[in-house]
Structure 1
């Protein structure tokens, strides 16, 4: 299955570089453009994107003007902007944007919103690979070297979050909230037990790192 492609149109280089770096870390392919007019011209030649992240206040065409170009090529949009006024948010969403996120934001929040939009629009890559391991989200299967590995539901959910967020530290609290729900008041060591089982089954003792007082990270070193 092909990698999801995301267009980032953002004139603040620090923000665009940070967003692109994190998206590439978790497996997305990104194109970054810092000018609205340039983005409009680029789309005439290449519009095979699964999602666009648009700033609103841009040199050249602004984000609202760019939306028409995205709509022309059926590209879902998340506005990623410093504009906090409700009028801008309402306009963006009424025009047809899938989501609206205000800066500053946590990268993990952006990643979750991206995944939700891709899933809602039927564009989400549902297969993730790590070395010789393949995770099929739709069929809820894990294979290693083509061999099906037995994964109970909770272990599957934990590993799915780790592989979707390769090279990012995921806290125990985040895993508990996402999988067990916000009403869970049990021992956080239940996460540690699942992690230990996953490491053993997949031979990932070194690759799934315990980050002191922070959580866990599935590390993938680029060659």
Structure 2
């Protein structure tokens, strides 16, 4: 997976981001100030940098000047329109403001990595292969017929692998906030995916919460 530099001076936030990115398979290097960040990107190649603006010493706007074309997501409390415009004009690939949802950050990371071709366009575990570009799923080399919602649910589980997702959150991510159905919809679709892919032991039930796609790193 990707090599990601996390530039965030708040230790707890830095650690939270690192742990969640590592859960989905990325390699992370945490730094806590602008000067160290510049040193890192000058001596090491990274697939992505997650960058705060308000940092000790040199701020994020100064750091991105030295990014050496490293794809960058600004993650910051500075949420004014001028700051956003400045961030994008300096070459940021995305701009996310605090407070933020971790699942949204993971989705934006995946989107930037795919857009910059730093992420594989397929996913394999056991006998299952998913072609993200073609929206096709294979089991033991055979094409598996999935409904659009089954595929969307599968992609959400894969992109957030090893992370427990509640039924309510899965409904929001796949069906949207205005969906009138209930959480049993998730259970039905999960059972269908398990059966089609032979993933009875891969899609884990998280007691009283929801589901987790469990894969080794």
Equivalents in 1 of 2:8, 2:44: separation in Å? 18
When structure 1 is superposed on structure 2, of 54-63 and 138-147 the one drifting more is 138-147
TM-score by length of 2: 0.85
- Alignment match of 1:63 (pick from 56, 60, 63): 60
How far did residue 177 of structure 1 move?
A: 3.6
Aligned pairs for 1:100-179 (under 5 A) are 100-179=95-174
Equivalents in 1 of 2:178, 2:80: separation in Å? 33
Equivalents in 2 of 1:38, 1:78: separation in Å? 18
TM-score by length of 1: 0.83
How far did residue 82 of structure 1 move?
A: 2.8
Q: May I ask how many residue pairs the two structures share in their alignment?
A: 217
When structure 1 is superposed on structure 2, of 157-166 and 91-100 the one drifting more is 91-100
Deviations 1:56-104 (A, max 9, x none): 122332210011112xx22221111233444433322332322222223
Equivalents in 2 of 1:122, 1:221: separation in Å? 23
Equivalents in 2 of 1:34, 1:145: separation in Å? 45
Q: SS state of the match for residue 83, structure 1?
A: coil
Q: SS state of the match for residue 50, structure 2?
A: strand
Q: Hey, what does 1:18 align to over in structure 2?
A: 16
CA RMSD of aligned residues (A): 2.4
Structure 2's unaligned 5+ residue stretches are none
Structure 1's unaligned 5+ residue stretches are none
Equivalents in 2 of 1:156, 1:86: separation in Å? 36
